[in-house]
Structure 1
Amino acid sequence: MKNITWNDVEILVVGAGTMGASLTQAYAQRGFNVGFIDISEKILKSAFDTINRELEIALQREIFSDSQIQDIKARILATTSYEEACQGKNLKLVLETATEDIEIKKQIFKKLDKLCAPNVVLASNSSSLDINILARETKRPDKVVWMHYFYPPHKNRAAEYAGTDNASPESIKTAARYMKLAKKIATPILSSRKGGAADVIFVSLLLEAARLVDEGFDIPSIEAAGKKAFNMPVGFLGLMDITGIPLGINTMYSFSDSSDPDDPFYKVYGNFFTPPDSYNKIMEEYVKAEDKSSVKWILEQEAKKEAKDFMLVDALKNRFLAVGFMTAAEVVEAGIIKMEEVDKLCQNAFLWEEGPFAIMNKIGIREVMKIVTERMELSHRKGINFPIPKLLISQSQKNEPWYL
């Protein structure tokens, strides 16, 4: 395969961290010429090392042949220069995956808007920030969209996409098309409210795990309860260790941001997503640590222990279910996503055997309402908001299963 130039690059990924590297690999594996950019050669080298390591694993598992891997690698370019990356003649889409800092992202979008051709669509992969803020930093708000991939995107097929308040139908179609060309199961999100659907549900469950630590429950029981609630191989504390300590708490900070009283997200959830002391403490340890990988929720000695009190595990399982049911019903009630899409999204993104609405039907809606109400009362005693959606209350009063 001939060496590509920046004029051949169709997709540009901004940010070469774990998500950016994986996303670059995902599109290169699907035949796209992809460029990626970050602030230092050291970061770019680390990204290439990650991609090479993942491709070597794919070779060993006979997913790709050696010649296919060489072709994938040949389709990837990297640079620290925005001027070089943005001015290729074939560039159609930019995917921003930078750190979850709105000020950093605003500067990136200003730069992209200035340097990219007018037809280029600019997308953010942000899991928690209001993309409308980024669109307002550009002179092309009609071409700014949200394209949210799930880690690791070179393996995980789930994805969400949405327009901003001013995005054109053509730009939204572009987002959907490029997700589908990457063989993603692309879920349309019907509102530009920050967080989409999946992360509202998922981060609420990470938060519940951290709150249980705060309340003094033992880690083996917390992990066993999370696994049992959604039939998962790993509990929510373990998932935070895998995805990275900062990811969950940064999303919680954004979701609980009270600086804008008109923020539609905060109007619903209030202080519900405020990180507990245990998460703030572990984040402080993470920031100070030279070896970030050493900071974990589940230390080696805890990982070897098993839950012993099965009644406690069942009680904690109900707490996870209550939070998952509340947030799943809320994103439907708010018009973020269609009900029939929620279960499929959770199954694809989180590898759950069943989605929250199917689990509710299995448990019975009256029992669902009982455990959700108990969880709300506990929250209120602690001064924490816990919104029970009217949709859930109405379904309980009818005592009927969800129509899926």
Structure 2
Amino acid sequence: MKKIMVVGAGIMGQGISLVFARKGLSVIIQDIADEQVKKGLQDIEKNLDKEINKGDISLKEKELILKGITGTTELKEAKNVDFVIEAVTEDIKIKKEIFRNLDKFCPPDVIFASNTSSLSITEIAQVVSRKDKVIGMHFFNPPTKMELIEIVCGKDTAKQTFQTVKRLSEILGKKIVKVKDSPGFIVNRLLIQMINESCFLLQDGVANPEEIDLAMQLGARHPLGPLGLADLIGLDVCLSIMETFYQKFQDSKYKPCPLLKEMVEKGKKGRKTGEGFFKYGTDCR
């Protein structure tokens, strides 16, 4: 496996592209508009510059990594790749449309992975002819630092597909957990409920954001509190996942906190917008 396409030039797509490129794989990062592709490539370079400033990599290493990443708006460029992973917004209609189109362009042996954090792999796979080659490959933010990948097998995912993605994950230096196709998988099924409950604590006036996060950092040894983590993930992403849970499980414990909805509606989505439960400078975006 030498050439990878990452569909989606947002934060996760950028990070996933870097993970692959660091291991010497050739990466094409694709998005629907030139501006998005250009911004994605610029942000990748900015992140590498930060690593240079910290002394983590050299200028030569940066240049080598960037040499391995190209951008495109053309999904048909996937005809020449060995593996595809999509990292677009958590909208099953969009993901299905991407996979439907990829199925037309890619050779039949190419695996389609989804970075979805909550949606059904089995359902996404229904739009393609290669259902046995569709799998979940859920990276965590930031992909360059987080060690875990949740590998999610749908109803039709072949054992060989799982083994291939497992080996690829290990080549990338990641630890894997194999998960059944269930909303939120393992991590988000647990994590997003904690974030939602933290929103209720804040809404009910039990404590302020700093106190809630400090309590979990010192009392439960969490490296980052739930509200700070929500800001890192993106409040819109957290809300989308909670809404998926509520829709799938039809259980009131998964109903999104009104405060979370309100903040997303106001455009306060966390670090990427400069404000969420906390305020951030431009360096955090």
Runs of 4+ aligned residues of structure 1 deviating over 3 Å after TM superposition are: none
Structure 1 counterpart of 2:20: 27
1:224 alignment partner, SS class: helix
Structure 1 counterpart of 2:86: 96
Q: Pick from 249, 253, 260: which aligns with 1:279? A: 260
**Is the contact made by 2:132 and 2:158 (CA closer than 8 Å) also made in structure 1?**
yes
> Letter of the aligned partner of 1:138 in structure 2?
V
| C-alpha displacement of 1:294 | 4.1
**Distance in 2 separating the partners of 1:77 and 1:25:** 11
| C-alpha displacement of 1:9 | 5.8
Q: Pick from 168, 171, 193: which aligns with 1:181? A: 171
Assess, with a 3 A threshold, how the Cα gap between structure 1 residues 299 and 48 changes in structure 2: closer, same or farther.
closer
**For 1:199-278, what aligned pairs fall within 5 Å after superposition?**
199-219=188-208, 220-258=210-248, 266=249, 270-278=251-259
| C-alpha displacement of 1:175 | 1.2
**Is the contact made by 2:183 and 2:189 (CA closer than 8 Å) also made in structure 1?**
no
**Is the contact made by 1:143 and 1:167 (CA closer than 8 Å) also made in structure 2?**
yes
String of CA shifts for 1:324-378, please: whole Å, max 9, x gaps. xxxxxxxxxxxxxxxxxxxxxxxxxxxxxxxxxxxxxxxxxxxxxxxxxxxxxxx
| C-alpha displacement of 1:242 | 2.2
Q: Pick from 59, 64, 67: which aligns with 1:71? A: 64
**Distance in 2 separating the partners of 1:153 and 1:237:** 20
Normalised to the residue count of structure 2, the TM-score between the two structures is 0.92
In terms of fraction of residues, the more strand-rich structure is: 2
In the alignment, does 2:67 pair up with 1:82? Answer: no
Same amino acid, percent of matched pairs: 28
String of CA shifts for 1:60-117, please: whole Å, max 9, x gaps. 233222222111111111100011x2111xx221111010011111101101111111
Q: Pick from 103, 108, 121: which aligns with 1:113? A: 103
| C-alpha displacement of 1:229 | 3.6
**Distance in 1 separating the partners of 2:38 and 2:164:** 30
Structure 2 counterpart of 1:317: none
Structure 1 counterpart of 2:127: 137
Assess, with a 3 A threshold, how the Cα gap between structure 1 residues 103 and 179 changes in structure 2: closer, same or farther.
same
| C-alpha displacement of 1:295 | 3.6
Normalised to the residue count of structure 1, the TM-score between the two structures is 0.66
Matched pairs, number: 278
**Distance in 2 separating the partners of 1:39 and 1:172:** 29
1:272 alignment partner, SS class: helix
**Distance in 2 separating the partners of 1:126 and 1:156:** 16
Structure 2 counterpart of 1:195: 184
**Is the contact made by 1:285 and 1:295 (CA closer than 8 Å) also made in structure 2?**
no
| C-alpha displacement of 1:46 | 1.1
Structure 1 counterpart of 2:52: 59
**Is the contact made by 2:118 and 2:183 (CA closer than 8 Å) also made in structure 1?**
yes
1:248 alignment partner, SS class: helix
* CA-atom RMSD in angstroms: 1.9
The runs of 5 or more residues in structure 2 that have no matched partner are 281-285
**Is the contact made by 2:198 and 2:227 (CA closer than 8 Å) also made in structure 1?**
yes
> Letter of the aligned partner of 2:55 in structure 1?
E
